Amino acid sequence: MRLLYFASVRQTIGISGEDVALPAGVGDAAGLVAWLQARGGVYADALGDTSRLRIAVNQVHADGATPVTDDDEVALFPPMTGG
């Protein structure tokens, strides 16, 4: 799985992306975020407030119930504002 981090999520974690193997028992975006939070440190800091987190799976906006697999690209980013 390819994880991409944008904006403040990227700044807090300190990298723009990484490749990970999907952990056993994780089958949706919410489970993935929970696994990342459990890594602690900068991941818990960046992803702790899920109300301020947006997810895209394979470049399509997703929610926590969206299924994820090892072949997916998952992007995590804060809400965007326009202007």
Here the tokens at position 35 are 């696994």
Q: Considering only residues 14 and 81, tell me which one the structure prediction assigns the higher pLDDT.
A: 14
Q: For the whole model, what pTM was predicted? A: 0.94
> Measured between alpha carbons, how far is 32 from 83 in angstroms, rounded to an integer?
31
CB 18 within 8 A of CB 39: no
User: 16-24: long-range contacts at Cβ-Cβ below 8 A with a sequence spacing of 24 or more?
Assistant: 21/70, 22/68, 22/69, 22/70
H-state helical runs in 1-83: 7-13, 29-38, 41-47
Using one digit for the tens of pLDDT, what is the confidence trace for 57-74? 999 999 999 999 999 999
